[in-house]
Amino acid sequence: MVKPQHNKHNLNELQKFKVALKGLMLATKSEAHFRFHILAALIIITAGWLMRVSKTDWLWLIAAIGFVLIAELFNTAIEHLVDLVSPEKHPLAGKIKDISAGAVLMASITAAVIGLVILWPYFCSIFN
């Protein structure tokens, strides 16, 4: 018999926060792509700090970083759910995983464009 997972409705706010934090830690430990996106985020944050970007530019950079990390978390959850409900290979399961990965790719491309539009002028001003 499968042990039931925790019922979110029976948890207090601190316990719910701990469950969510556990999810982030699981993704960080087990998902190489999530770790890659965290590393990319740290590089962008460092670049933004060194280039002293404006508050408005920070908001765009933070939104772009969050967008990618959230997309990667959803992709990971979707992939695990697909594996749970369809452990054998199935064309529809493969399509679901491909589309989910495509969402992460779109989020990453969008974030890269935002990062370039924001950081390029700062970068160019260093050499002028």
* Cα–Cα distance, 45 to 58 (Å, whole number): 9
* Cα–Cα distance, 43 to 69 (Å, whole number): 14
* Cα–Cα distance, 39 to 123 (Å, whole number): 20
State the SS3 of 79-98.
HHHHHHHCCCCCHHHHHHHH
41 is written with which tokens? 């985020």
* Cα–Cα distance, 22 to 89 (Å, whole number): 29
Which of the following is catalytic: 13, 72, 79, 88?
A: 72
Q: Respond yes or no: is residue 31 known to be catalytic.
A: no
The catalytic residue positions are 72
